[in-house]
Structure 1
Amino acid sequence: VRRGESWYLSAAAPEDKDLLCQEVTLLAGKPVEEVIEAYGTLFASDNPVHLRRSFRQACNVADIYEYLGLVEAGKPLTVTLKGGKALSLAPVGMEEMNKLEIVRISDKIKGQPETAAADAYYFAKPLTEDAYYIQYNTCREAEDLPMEDFAALVAKDLKAGDYSRVLLDLRNNGGGSDGVIWPLFEVLRESMDGGAKLVGLIGEATFSSALINAVEIQEMGGVLAGEPAGGSVCHFGAVQTFSLPNSKVRGQLSSKYLDLNTLLDAAAGRGVVALEPDVLVYQTLEDTLKGKDTLADWCLAAPDQKLVPAVHDNAPLTRGRFIGQLYEAAGSPDVEIGEELPFKDSFGIEWYLPAMAWAKEQGIAKGGAEGTFSASRPLTWKEAAVFLGRTAEALDLKPDPAAKRMGPVPAALGGSQDAVTRAWDLGLLPADADFTRGLTRSQGENLAEALKALTA
């Protein structure tokens, strides 16, 4: 069993019960991570977390060690514990193994936490007066409780209480259909707009559609806490089943590549890599034995300044994020978001949704001919200049004649458009930038800060 960055002995013969929970350092004389890497020649995985999970599920199969050349056929596997003690485990058949008397870590666990995995698609309950908990275990709709009805129950609870935090637990969710959760997201968006902080809990088993939902939590402005997910940010999905015509062997096929990098601002710049939480919190072995949930307890106790999104300064700057940065620089003025979303391709849950509504209202972001905005698309310097110039006009900012920038607008910024010229004359654009490249999030912050300085 793995806890944190270490592996521990999870089963033993009764006479060796005192060895349970001791750290394993070597398998067949090699570091555990090196053995896991060898497993990668047999187990398909697109990130190290997924491979690690596959190893854990098959680490007791003697044939694999023999096939990989880690152990000679029929010879025992040496398991070395921290401190140097070595165990010699002889291979046995399945029938014989089922007859063995074994003691396990699970025998030492005292009770279960309130947040233990339930035999339900989803459920919700208050954990404290301040924290409300939702467990979402599969991206499917329960026959006896449709998601619309479940979301309505959650909305009723949230309105009746005064919760400052909502924990949405995806740690046991291996996927299904990512759209099932949307009625709940709409309820949570309303709760966030009322001041509640949304924290998504993820772990090694968070996969496929559940992983998409986790990134959508970040798109909402929520925070992900827990351990790296077994699924990758960009991944293959839409699994279909098939049967070979002659052997009738059944298999599965991923029929679609889901490039979240191009679909969500929160995923910009990420690829086929494990989804990392904003706040890393490992389940500890000590808490496991006490029947405690390390992550849930941490989320309940952590101050607000600990529950913040991770900073990815070098990630590509998207159009939607830059509008959000400009909105904050302008003082986050009040804006009404009606029943109709600002643009046809708005999701309705984005953290920068008020910013887009404000930008459209002020003529800063006009969108395309079909009423779309492409918020997740990387921003160009020309677009940044246009948005800056239009924002300056909306805020009635005028250049100081004594401080007006001399020289023509660089050709890479698109020539003499009024908005671009205004941004250039106001000194909102750096003179030494490479305007042929894309922008990073930190560059967007710098541009927004320059605008904010002029409004002071």
Structure 2
Amino acid sequence: MRKIFLFISIFLLFSSNLVMAAEISEADWLSDLNYLENELPAEHYNLFFKLEKEEFMKEMDKLKNDLPELSNLDTTLRLAEIFAKIGDTHTAIDNTRFLTEYYPLFLKKFEDGYRVIMTDNQYKKILGAKLIAINNYSIEELKDHFNKIITADNQISIDYRISSFLKLNEVLKYLGIVDSKNEFLFEKDGEKIRINFEPLKIKNMASSNNSLSKLDYQTGYVRSNANQLFWSDYIAAEKMVYFQYNSCWSRELAQKHGKPNSELPSFAAEESEILNYIKNKEIDKLVIDLRFNSGGDSSQGTELAEKLSKYQDQFETYIIIGADTFSSAIINALDFKKQLDGYLIGTATMGKPNHYGEVRTFNLPNTGLRVSYSTNYFKLLENSDPDSLYPDITVETKFEDFLSGRDSILEIIKNID
């Protein structure tokens, strides 16, 4: 049995925000909404690139008028609807402190749909099962509902982000998907399984870890160190250098941003090791794996691409991307492609190449809710504006490969002559 660190992190997301949500008066909400209405347009690089200012003000006025009928959570979800219309994936409000209930259902998106990776012991028969519907709403119908509150550059973003929302009882209620009835329909080995989950309290989520059953799967080479910021290896049999870059962060960047942390790995040391492989080993292929990288600071990746460019004629370069490749990681994927004349392989990204970013935050004065916003626009492609960074070679992850630890993308790269 392997720990699934990706899903354990979801516990940390909620448990780190478990401040008791005190009652917030209508006057305090009104004051905060007025503050947001003025502050966000002033601080954002270009807030009204998609939603007209007049429409933004109209939506905010409707929300203010509806305050007497709204709960704290409902108010923030209405704000999420407005932010979804704004259309900047880096502009959002953190409302997790108002979420109180969840279903023990942890899903992962695969080529054939959403599979159960972790659940409560009493439901372990659905481990590995595919979710088919909730209260007779098909997966496509569920996506249509969540389009209202998820800010997305493309359908890929909805496809992958929805899996984190389908466990949230109050959000499902807000969208009219569940009420007193919450029948989840799964399919496993040709059998249909119907489950009515009992909502659990998020405040008890961390302590409930021992009651969870996790899917048995082989970690495999690629996922063996996927919890590290970055790592590299020389695969002698393939004459291949493999560099897995999981976060645009490091000891050096933490220092640069005024957050020194000597326990973080050094990117300079990693870079030196990669260059040492290239200078002293026989290399046919360089693989840069960005499929787990959701961003950070792109500068060190950009500089590495420039340093590697002088060796580009010595090998073929393949840059692995996927749905989780986002923000600064997209910048670096294009850096490596351009500087090394590389091939993108994997699946399309959640984010756009041309995008708003360089995120900053402010807190609403009364509720204390954190609002993030973009302070820059990155135009990485001059002559086009696609909704995603698409691979040159598309390879989807199959559920069976995940279970066995086989990485189909790396296998395909190994077999390219």
Q: Which moved more, 1:93-102 or 1:282-291?
A: 93-102
User: C-alpha separation between the residues in 1 aligned to 2:185 and 2:113?
Assistant: 14
Structure number with the bigger relative contact order (C-alpha 8 A, sep ≥ 6) is 2
- For residues 28-70 of structure 1, give each alpha carbon's deviation from its aligned partner in whole angstroms, at most 9, with x where no partner exists: 2122122022111112222222222321112111112211112
Structure 1 range deviating more: 27-36 or 11-20: 11-20
Aligned equivalents of 2:380, 2:219: Cα separation in 1? 39
Are the equivalent residues in 2 in contact too, given 1:239–1:252 (CA < 8 A)? Answer: yes
Task: Give the aligned length.
Answer: 293
Partner SS, residue 236 of structure 2 = coil
Residue pair 2:317, 2:343 contacting (<8 A) in 1 also: yes
Q: Which residue of 2 aligns with 1:313?
A: none
Contact 2:143 2:158 in 1 (8 A): yes
1:386-405, aligned counterparts within 5 Å?
Answer: none
**CA–CA distance in structure 2, aligned partners of residues 182 and 78 of structure 1:** 45
Q: Which of 363, 384, 391 is the equivalent residue of 1:269?
A: 384
1:125 corresponds to: 233
Answering whether residue 150 of structure 2 is matched by residue 35 of structure 1, we say no
Distance 1:257 1:114, change over 3 A: closer
- In structure 2, the partner of 1:353 is none
For the Cα contact (< 8 Å) 1:241–1:253, is it kept in 2? yes
Structural RMSD (CA): 2.5
Query: What is aligned with 1:104?
Result: 214
Q: 1:256 aligns with which of 372, 376, 379?
A: 376
Q: How does 1:376-455 map to 2 (within 5 A)?
A: none
Q: 1:198 aligns with which of 317, 323, 326?
A: 317
Which residue of the partner structure matches residue 56 of structure 1?
A: 163
Match of 2:187 in 1: 81
More helix as a share of residues: 2
List per-residue Cα deviations over 1:299-318 (Å, max 9, x = no partner): 22x223xxxxxxxxxxxxxx
Matched, 1:291 2:411: no
Q: CA deviation at 1:13?
A: 5.6
Per-residue CA distance 1:350-408 (angstroms, 9 max, x = gap): xxxxxxxxxxxxxxxxxxxxxxxxxxxxxxxxxxxxxxxxxxxxxxxxxxxxxxxxxxx
Return closer, same or farther for 1:246/1:31 CA change in 2, 3 Å cut-off: closer
| 1:44 equivalenced with 2:151 (yes/no) | yes
Contact 1:112 1:291 in 2 (8 A): yes
TM-score (norm 2): 0.64
Determine the C-alpha separation between the residues in 2 that align with 1:20 and 1:230. Answer: 26
Contact 2:135 2:181 in 1 (8 A): no
Paired-residue identity, %: 24
The answer to whether the 8 Å contact 2:321/2:349 transfers is: yes
Which sits farther off after the overlay, 196-205 or 125-134?
A: 125-134
Contact 2:126 2:186 in 1 (8 A): no
Deviations 1:143-172 (A, max 9, x none): 466544432321111111111111101112
Aligned to 2:283, which of 163, 171, 182? 163
Q: Residue 301 of structure 2 aligns to a residue in which SS?
A: helix
State whether residues 129 and 186 of structure 2, in contact with CA within 8 Å, keep that contact through their aligned partners in structure 1. Answer: no
Secondary structure of the residue that 2:319 maps to in structure 1? strand
**Post-superposition shift, 1:14?**
4.8
| Structure 1, 14-23 or 135-144: larger mean CA deviation | 14-23
Query: What residue is the counterpart of 2:29 in the other structure?
Result: none
- Counterparts of 1:96 and 1:89, CA distance in 2: 20
**In structure 1, distance between residues paired with 2:395 and 2:164:** 22
CA spacing shift, 1:117–1:37, aligned 2, 3 Å: farther
1:203 Cα deviation after fit: 1.3
Please report how far the alpha carbon of residue 185 of structure 1 lies from its aligned counterpart in structure 2 after TM superposition.
Answer: 1.1
- 1:303 alignment partner in structure 2: 416
Paired with 1:90 and 1:173, the residues of 2 have a C-alpha distance of 33
The question of whether the paired residues in 2 share the 8 Å contact of 1:151 and 1:183 is answered with no
What is the correspondence of 1:123-272 to structure 2 with a 5 Å cutoff? Answer: 123-129=231-237, 130-143=239-252, 146-194=266-314, 196-220=315-339, 221-262=341-382, 268-271=383-386
Using the size of structure 1 for normalisation, the TM-score is 0.59
Distance 2:166 2:376 in 1: 31
1:79-102 CA-to-partner distances (Å, cap 9, x unmatched) read: 242646241323412267765944
Alpha-carbon distance between aligned partners in 2 of 1:185 and 1:9, rounded to the nearest angstrom: 38
How many Å separate the matches in 2 of 1:29 and 1:84? Answer: 17
Q: Secondary structure of the equivalent of 1:260?
A: coil
State the alpha-carbon separation in 2 of the partners of residues 140 and 14 from structure 1: 36
- More displaced, 18-27 or 206-215? 18-27
| Maintained 8 Å contact 1:229/1:274 | yes
Corresponding letter in the other structure for 2:348: P
SS at match of 2:402: helix
Measure, in 1, the Cα distance between the counterparts of 2:247 and 2:197.
Answer: 39
Q: Name the CA shift for 1:84/1:150 in 2 (closer, same or farther; >3 Å).
A: closer
Mind listing any 5+ residue stretches in structure 1 that lack a counterpart?
A: 263-267, 305-456
Q: 1:102 to 1:140 in 2, by over 3 A?
A: closer
Q: Which residue in the other structure is 2:177 paired with?
A: 70
Q: C-alpha distance in 1, partners of 2:248/2:120?
A: 39
Quick one: structure 1 residues 115 and 22, their matched pair in 2 at CA, closer, same or farther if it must change by over 3 Å? closer
Q: Distance in 1 between matches of 2:204 and 2:266?
A: 46
